[in-house]
A and B are shown apart, each in its own frame.
Chain A
Amino acid sequence: MNKTMTVNIAGMIFHIDEDAFYILNQYLERVKEELKNTDGGSEIYQDIETRIGELFSERIKVNRQVISVTEVKEVILIMGEPSDISGSGSKTEYESTSSRTYRRMYRDPDNRIIGGVCSGLGAYWHTDPTILRLIFIILAIFGMAGVLIYIILWIILPEARTVSQRLEMRGEKVNLSSMGEFFRQEFDNVKRSFKK
């Protein structure tokens, strides 16, 4: 079972799986970014969006009405990487910009004990959250500082809810392969928890 969303691509309405939407959205954002400094960039972007809509509508059938990750990946392969589209030059140049990782602090709801603050910080700094928890406990014993800091962090740090936020939290690249890896891991986790 999959949650779907409704999107408007160049004036056509499509139902799209949530994870497929996420991948498509990432792709279109990157295309937009790549075309930003090109003459007539917004027009080119519109043309590309229209073409993607066309390719999707060719793939919609009576018994298959929802765009899934497979269709999105197929269409992205047909359209090409954003760097191909803008013709901004060599592959290496593109890779250096795309491997830029956005790491942000979040609370990690998957490995939390209280509010997920320590597990989130641990993911951010690549440290064992247990050590951070010990530090907070020690701070809490010597006065209220630990408790206070924890509560403040709990309030100001957003929870990592979506796939992209969880990848950002771990400082991993948000792209097709990392998303795929993420879903595989999640799937394994679910399988393991069933076996228990």
Chain B
Amino acid sequence: MKVENSKAQMRKGILEYCILLILERGDAYASDIIQKLKEAQLIVVEGTLYPLLTRHKNAGLLSYRWEESTLGPPRKYYALTDDGKAFLKELDLAWKELVQAIDGIKQIP
């Protein structure tokens, strides 16, 4: 049982939530999202992000539009849909409950 494994599992669990949080602040390219997640040390490799974005898009939580780019091909510009916003509210609640739960457990003498 390695601690790194458990840490990775935890990060993986909150990754979806973080992606939605980033997009709540404004629309973004996949590479912008990657940049922010890397700064927060939530992802190590970029590849993990793309399946999540596509899954969320197919579930109707995200939408994207093509934007022309000065270097290279057009890029996907992601935005949160109304469904996505509602989904995020639920996750906000769940996160608060989790934090409370952990705090509660830690305070048990």
Contacts and interface: CB of A to CB of B under 8 A. Distances in A.
A80 B44 contact: yes
Chain A binding surface, main DSSP class: helix
A150 to B, nearest CB: 48
Interface string A52-77: 01100100000000000000000001
A97 to B, nearest CB: 17
A53 B72 CA distance: 8
Contacts of B50: 44, 47-48, 51, 85
Contacts of A18: none
Contact of B46 (A39, A44, A51, A87): A51
A11 B76 CA distance: 15
B30 A51 contact: yes
A184 B47 CA distance: 29
B73 interface: yes
B100 interface: no
A10 B46 CA distance: 17
Contacts of B72: 10-12, 50, 53-54, 57
Interface string A153-189: 0000000000000000000000000000000000000
Interface residues of B, number: 20
Interface string B8-49: 000010000000000000000011000000000000111110
B71 interface: yes
Given A47-B30, A51-B50, A10 B73 contact: yes
A79 B47 CA distance: 5
Given A40-B55, A86-B51, A81 B73 contact: no
B31 A54 contact: yes
A79 B54 contact: no
Interface of A: 10-12, 31, 35, 38-40, 43-44, 47-48, 50-51, 53-54, 57, 77-82, 84-87
9 contacts: A11-B73, A39-B54, A40-B51, A44-B54, A47-B30, A51-B46, A54-B72, A57-B71, A85-B50
